[in-house]
Amino acid sequence: MDRQEPHRISLLKWLSLFLLFVGLPTAVSVFISFSIPYYVFHNPTLANNLSTIVPIIVVVISYYFFNRYLLSHNMISPFTRRRKTITILPDSGKPIDEKYIRSFEAGLNFYKNDSNEYVKRLAMIGLMYLQNAIAYGNKDYYLKARDYLYKAEEEMNGKNVTFETRLLVDNLSSKIETYKYRFGER
């Protein structure tokens, strides 16, 4: 079955669905959890306790089902940020935004425990810097790419990494070897 791309819904439609799935059940639960203990049992303490606990549980459960509904109908909330996709292809000559590379570098710390993912990210950052080095003709970027290659190879030694990760590091190595004469290395 071919899966369609999710579509972003309008704020008004999202708000109406949110009120239907979350607001209405919460309002009903507040009314019932307060009025029954208070008017039927004449117990204000029980009414206050229940009217606090029950709506919280109802909100959590309804919000879960609200998100499941959005997913099942292939909808995206208007508050969801769009993901930025980039193509890492050093031969393209198109530069990659420096902020994007820096954010990728900042995210490296989260993958220190997973050696496979950590090496993959090191190689990807190296490819990004190499792409910028080629696009701008900047030797500093080339040297950063080479440093990331060395870090990836060092991290890969003695560790069990997947074939895909090894291929990514080998690709970075061959690209750096290809372009080393352009940046004055022998």
Domain boundaries, the chain: 7-76, 90-179
The pLDDT of residue 160: 85
User: Distance between CA 131 and CA 147 in Å, rounded?
Assistant: 14
Q: Write out pLDDT tens, residues 73-89.
A: 888 888 887 766 788 88
In 3D, which of 35, 29, 59 has the Cα closest to residue 47? Answer: 35
86-145: per-residue pLDDT in tens?
Answer: 888 888 888 998 988 998 898 888 888 888 899 999 999 999 999 999 999 999 999 999
Mean pLDDT of the chain: 88
- Are residues 123 and 151 in contact, defined by beta-carbon separation less than 8 angstroms? no
Secondary structure (3-state) at 75 = strand
Given this model, what pLDDT does residue 5 score? 67
pLDDT at position 3 over 70: no
CB burial of 119-137 (b: ≥16 within 10 Å; e: otherwise) equals: bbbbbbbbbbbbbbbbeee
Look at residue 2 in the predicted model and tell me its pLDDT: 46
Q: Give pTM, 2 decimals.
A: 0.60
Is pLDDT of 12 > 70?
yes
Percent of the chain topping pLDDT 90:
51
pLDDT of 181: 86
**Angle at the Cα of 165 (from 134 to 161), degrees rounded to 5?**
145
pLDDT of residue 103: 87
Q: In this predicted structure, what is the pLDDT of residue 168? A: 94
